[in-house]
Chains A and B, each alone.
Chain A
């Protein structure tokens, strides 16, 4: 069956499902404890998954399959990419529960239940091997997030949850239709089979656009990003963490798992669209982030800019670009999650996200200031942190395809430094002017326990990313080999000057190893 001889992926979905149901009937403290215990247990299972993952082994591991009805199957299995995203999920989940420990006091059982249910869906999305199973889990992810914003959110939560819902649902309807057509055409809903099915290029165009409608919103790409700032602002801290940390990765995962390998010709055909939207996103949302007065909005806008690097890397069609994009997804999951936690820490103390209400926190909250600085630097992509590795690889890959786009996208490192340091300065530097800010205590042990593991992971990924690159190497290789036939030619057109070698060296964007 698989290397562990028991259905670990089903267990990882069943366990939180069970806990989610039990939570509904527990009192507040019991629900908290159960949720924490469950998410920690899942983290342990995630580690088991990682340790036993056979790098260089079969593409799909931990495979399990149960036929349900028709050709709809409970089919699970993961490759390295899925595994890293599942790791991200199970790593962030206990932190989310911890972040809600004191902040959530109403309807705690339901809240914990919603989070656990969300975990079921997120693991399922990354593990699903059946197209419809994927679809149901992918779309159902809306519900708990929607409830989390709508019930435990801020003052304007209804508008935010409505906007969130409207955006994400609209895209999903067309994707469903496209999936139905695909299943009819290919005769199967099995994802590994579909990954190697060559659809007619003319049909690919429409299928690609249908999937794009859904993934672009989830990503989110400009101009369908406006739900994100509102959703973040209204969501409770843990909701923001999971939204930025994992839900945003579903769009990128969708492109990676479906759009690019299943429709390579169409992906190539629409490169210009991805490039244009992503370039606009980098510059536009970075500038918008610069003028924000609400901390969460600022970080939300910065997320849009970072996600644009992901799409650019993915659509570079080469190994560096795609590996970089995956590392950006993982890194952004950690860093933006941590930044939202940082906002939550001071929000819990002062109950405002307005940047100008703070200032001088380095004086009375030095530990906080240090960690906030670390995550700020990771966000601006300082080498040695996770942010750099992904950004660098994505842009290296992108440069092979188009130097203009790379030039524009790389301005993100200037603008990113601008808005993040400007934020940091207003929050942590300067004099302590407000009395209530002066009275804020430094990080508690609980808060330290939430942020320190993320800090460690961010440094680990920055200094020794090999741990994270090794599991995905084979899968990216498979993907690059699959899409090589559609890979665009680079715009460099290097031409040798010396007389004996006037042959134009065609720089295929796919690198040597994939051939």
Chain B
């Protein structure tokens, strides 16, 4: 029973808050949604812990028939196994905390019930996704979270940039969904079912078979996996389909934490892990997953180096960390991929909510160039951000203790090395390099925000607040502004997530990735590779130390550039200006897509309409006929004075009469 409550309570709460807020009022609407999420969360942890302790059994709870069309038959059902249980705690925990956090963060917003209703709706869709027992229900959740994401990015719908970002997110995701849908079609064609367990069971038997898709001959499992993976790339913002994620930061910060860091964007990783026995049947597909993941990890990290908006830095960081998860899955390390998903959810939500707390304190300023010296002003936020930074950069001492990322990220890097394949080696080197960059941009964020001298008065937001210009403020760059620490509703989630960021890795390292413990924990829910996990623990010492060295290097460089020499970044940017610009402009993906997709779409639309419909079809079709009539006999005038009604009637009656006559004659003859 509890799984139904976990999934449907948020839906119920969303309906109550969304439709009933005029009757019950704002505060009850917020209470209902937040309460529902805390209940869901409280019910989820026992399920997860029972899987950790090995006392749980997989179950599938049927809900309702959905579609039966011949041999295509799928239902609404809730599947609970280890993989789902992990996602349940991630989703409900972060969601509950984000609901709580929003009480403080959205306090001044006039539209709060709508916001909370959307958040709960999102959670429902995400839970439907992770409990799916068939591909179509997964697609339902997939699109449902897309809808919620669209609505929440565009929550401040008066802002043109927010609206544009919302549409971009939905449409780019639809590009991925095109692949997902074709993947489902193909899977049904090949296996005759969309039930995930049945597909996974039959998948090995199809290895080596070939099929025609779009006129080309393919290895069956490769093409199916690649099509499905396109869907994963869209949702998880992988290179090529990543462009929507940074723009999605237009949404309120709690949304960024919940949807665009901890949960929704990890759906792609979840999908690959859920279907891992299927991906295992195609080396090519796995190689593609590895390469795409690795390239995303390094691409996003390079862009993150030079962004000034605090949320965008974290957004690119998310993109990069998702890349890690994908290449982990690509090398067959599904356990570590899910482990990183798990720890990342805590520390990335923490970083986003921490950034939100900073933004809250800095009067909605998001540009880090106008921060500085905030360590003393908002100490609790600072310590929370510190915990998040230590976790993401992977600080820890081998064999003693480490923060969350130390266990999960290092395990991924070691698994990549241990996989022994060429793509695995590639991913290993990229992973280490990206770890260096991760450390650099994370510490850059910390130094710019919390250390140094205040540069607040240069911010327009602060100027509005204190009614001063930078000139009036003179030497004192604070402008007399006093950043305030956030209210408890925001600090409590930060505190709880900090606990997760500090201990999640240490506590669950073995259940998720241990060779023996992992196999017991995961059961059949993913294609857990015992041999790889053993090999990953026996890599040479330099491999184990590589990521720590990379982390320290990144920290050191960031320290030299942003702590010691304040003008060094500018000098460096000037020296490598083309490269800096290339990174700063996000490798020009947006400009490129605009040029090759968006503009041509409008251009073709216009041409088809004016030249096609009006200039050709109408001109030679109806208008041509009308012209003939007009020049021939001049009846067009009478046409237009209302004669046509009579004409129509006569014409039809005539036809009817003719038909009748023929029939009667036919019968008589």
A→B interface (CB under 8 Å) = 69-72, 132, 135-136, 139-140, 142-143, 146-147, 150, 158, 161-163, 165-167, 169, 172-173, 176, 180, 183-184, 189, 223-224, 226-227, 229, 284-285, 287-292, 318-320, 323-324, 360, 362-363, 377, 382-384, 388-389, 392-393, 395-396, 399-400, 403-404, 406-407, 410-411, 413-415, 417-418, 421-422, 425, 428-431, 463-466, 469, 473, 490-498, 507, 511-514
The answer on a CB contact under 8 Å between A162 and B663 is no
- 6 A-B contacts (beta carbon < 8 Å): A176-B655, A399-B185, A425-B166, A469-B68, A496-B206, A497-B208
Give 10 A-B pairs besides A406-B182, A413-B174 with Cβ atoms closer than 8 angstroms: A176-B655, A288-B605, A290-B602, A323-B70, A396-B184, A413-B178, A425-B163, A428-B157, A430-B163, A495-B210
Q: Does B2 contact A (CB under 8 A)?
A: no
The answer on a CB contact under 8 Å between A512 and B71 is yes
The answer on a CB contact under 8 Å between B613 and A226 is yes
The segment from B242-250, B394-402, B617-625 found at the interface with A is: B617-625
The answer on a CB contact under 8 Å between B186 and A399 is yes
For B582, the chain A residues whose CB sits under 8 A away are none
For B592, the chain A residues whose CB sits under 8 A away are none
For B178, the chain A residues whose CB sits under 8 A away are 410-411, 413-414
Provided the pairs A162-B622, A287-B608, A383-B143 are in contact, do residues A495 and B209 lie with their beta carbons within 8 angstroms? Answer: yes
A285 to B612, CA, bound (A): 10
A94 to B667, CA, bound (A): 41
The answer on a CB contact under 8 Å between A407 and B644 is no
Q: Does B55 contact A (CB under 8 A)?
A: no
Contact of A384 among B140, B206, B621, B668 (CB under 8 A): B140
- Report the minimum CB–CB distance from A75 to chain B (whole Å): 14
For B541, the chain A residues whose CB sits under 8 A away are none
The segment from B212-220, B384-392, B550-558 found at the interface with A is: B212-220
- Report the minimum CB–CB distance from B122 to chain A (whole Å): 14
Nearest 7 CB-CB pairings of A with B: A497-B208, A70-B667, A399-B185, A319-B70, A287-B605, A383-B140, A291-B605
In B208-256, the 8 Å CB interface with A consists of 208-215, 220
For B571, the chain A residues whose CB sits under 8 A away are none
The answer on a CB contact under 8 Å between A165 and B648 is yes
The answer on a CB contact under 8 Å between B181 and A395 is yes
- Report the minimum CB–CB distance from B594 to chain A (whole Å): 14
Q: Does B207 contact A (CB under 8 A)?
A: yes
For A465, the chain B residues whose CB sits under 8 A away are 66-67
Q: Does B167 contact A (CB under 8 A)?
A: yes
The answer on a CB contact under 8 Å between B663 and A147 is no
A413 to B667, CA, bound (A): 52
- Report the minimum CB–CB distance from B216 to chain A (whole Å): 10
Contact of A184 among B189, B210, B609, B666 (CB under 8 A): B666
Question: When each residue 630-658 of chain B gets 1 if its CB lies under 8 Å from chain A and 0 otherwise, what string results?
Answer: 00000000011010110011011001100
- Report the minimum CB–CB distance from B459 to chain A (whole Å): 24
- Report the minimum CB–CB distance from A159 to chain B (whole Å): 8
How many A-B pairs have beta carbons closer than 8 Å: the answer is 244
The answer on a CB contact under 8 Å between B605 and A135 is no
The answer on a CB contact under 8 Å between B606 and A513 is no
For A411, the chain B residues whose CB sits under 8 A away are 178
A496 to B189, CA, bound (A): 14
Q: CB-nearest residue of chain B relative to A291?
A: B605
Provided the pairs A180-B659, A497-B208 are in contact, do residues A320 and B608 lie with their beta carbons within 8 angstroms? Answer: no
Question: When each residue 104-148 of chain B gets 1 if its CB lies under 8 Å from chain A and 0 otherwise, what string results?
Answer: 000000000000000000000000000000001001100110010
For B378, the chain A residues whose CB sits under 8 A away are none
- Report the minimum CB–CB distance from A350 to chain B (whole Å): 20
The answer on a CB contact under 8 Å between A288 and B609 is yes
The answer on a CB contact under 8 Å between A497 and B209 is yes
Q: CB-nearest residue of chain B relative to A163?
A: B622
- Report the minimum CB–CB distance from B662 to chain A (whole Å): 6
For B543, the chain A residues whose CB sits under 8 A away are none
- Report the minimum CB–CB distance from A499 to chain B (whole Å): 10
Q: Does B175 contact A (CB under 8 A)?
A: yes
Q: CB-nearest residue of chain B relative to A167?
A: B622
The answer on a CB contact under 8 Å between A150 and B644 is yes
For A400, the chain B residues whose CB sits under 8 A away are 189
Contact of A492 among B76, B136, B189, B656 (CB under 8 A): B189
Q: Does B601 contact A (CB under 8 A)?
A: yes
For A393, the chain B residues whose CB sits under 8 A away are 67, 69, 72
For B376, the chain A residues whose CB sits under 8 A away are none
The answer on a CB contact under 8 Å between B209 and A407 is no
Q: Does B604 contact A (CB under 8 A)?
A: yes
For B65, the chain A residues whose CB sits under 8 A away are 464, 466
In B288-322, the 8 Å CB interface with A consists of none
Provided the pairs A414-B175, A417-B171 are in contact, do residues A514 and B644 lie with their beta carbons within 8 angstroms? Answer: no
For A183, the chain B residues whose CB sits under 8 A away are 663, 666
The answer on a CB contact under 8 Å between B655 and A407 is no
- Report the minimum CB–CB distance from B59 to chain A (whole Å): 23
Q: Does B177 contact A (CB under 8 A)?
A: yes
Provided the pairs A140-B652, A383-B140, A425-B167 are in contact, do residues A430 and B663 lie with their beta carbons within 8 angstroms? Answer: no
A514 to B618, CA, bound (A): 43
Provided the pairs A147-B645, A166-B625, A417-B170 are in contact, do residues A288 and B69 lie with their beta carbons within 8 angstroms? Answer: no
The answer on a CB contact under 8 Å between B186 and A136 is no
A146 to B639, CA, bound (A): 13
For A491, the chain B residues whose CB sits under 8 A away are 212
Contact of A512 among B70, B175, B189 (CB under 8 A): B70
Q: CB-nearest residue of chain A relative to B185?
A: A399
The answer on a CB contact under 8 Å between A422 and B167 is yes
The answer on a CB contact under 8 Å between B174 and A180 is no
For B644, the chain A residues whose CB sits under 8 A away are 146, 150, 158, 161-162, 165
Q: Does B188 contact A (CB under 8 A)?
A: yes
For B208, the chain A residues whose CB sits under 8 A away are 496-498
In B390-440, the 8 Å CB interface with A consists of none
Provided the pairs A70-B667, A287-B601, A410-B181 are in contact, do residues A403 and B213 lie with their beta carbons within 8 angstroms? Answer: yes
- Report the minimum CB–CB distance from A123 to chain B (whole Å): 19
Q: CB-nearest residue of chain B relative to A464?
A: B64
For B520, the chain A residues whose CB sits under 8 A away are none
Q: CB-nearest residue of chain A relative to B140?
A: A383
A240 to B33, CA, bound (A): 40
Provided the pairs A290-B601, A290-B602, A384-B140 are in contact, do residues A511 and B214 lie with their beta carbons within 8 angstroms? Answer: no
The answer on a CB contact under 8 Å between A463 and B64 is yes
Q: Does B42 contact A (CB under 8 A)?
A: no
Q: CB-nearest residue of chain B relative to A150?
A: B645
A493 to B205, CA, bound (A): 17
The answer on a CB contact under 8 Å between A492 and B211 is yes
Q: CB-nearest residue of chain B relative to A383?
A: B140
A399 to B385, CA, bound (A): 50
A83 to B547, CA, bound (A): 67
In B143-197, the 8 Å CB interface with A consists of 143-144, 147, 150, 154, 157-158, 160, 163, 166-167, 170-171, 174-175, 177-178, 181-182, 184-186, 188-190
For A410, the chain B residues whose CB sits under 8 A away are 178, 181-182
For B181, the chain A residues whose CB sits under 8 A away are 392, 395, 410, 413
The answer on a CB contact under 8 Å between B664 and A69 is yes
The answer on a CB contact under 8 Å between B70 and A513 is yes
Provided the pairs A167-B622, A430-B163 are in contact, do residues A189 and B67 lie with their beta carbons within 8 angstroms? Answer: no
A291 to B166, CA, bound (A): 19
For A407, the chain B residues whose CB sits under 8 A away are 182, 214
Q: CB-nearest residue of chain B relative to A169?
A: B651
A292 to B613, CA, bound (A): 13
For A224, the chain B residues whose CB sits under 8 A away are 621
- Report the minimum CB–CB distance from A135 to chain B (whole Å): 7
Q: CB-nearest residue of chain A relative to B186?
A: A399
A103 to B644, CA, bound (A): 25
Q: CB-nearest residue of chain A relative to B190?
A: A494
The answer on a CB contact under 8 Å between A132 and B212 is no
Provided the pairs A395-B185, A411-B178, A492-B212 are in contact, do residues A289 and B70 lie with their beta carbons within 8 angstroms? Answer: no
The answer on a CB contact under 8 Å between A496 and B170 is no
Provided the pairs A143-B649, A320-B72, A414-B171 are in contact, do residues A227 and B622 lie with their beta carbons within 8 angstroms? Answer: yes
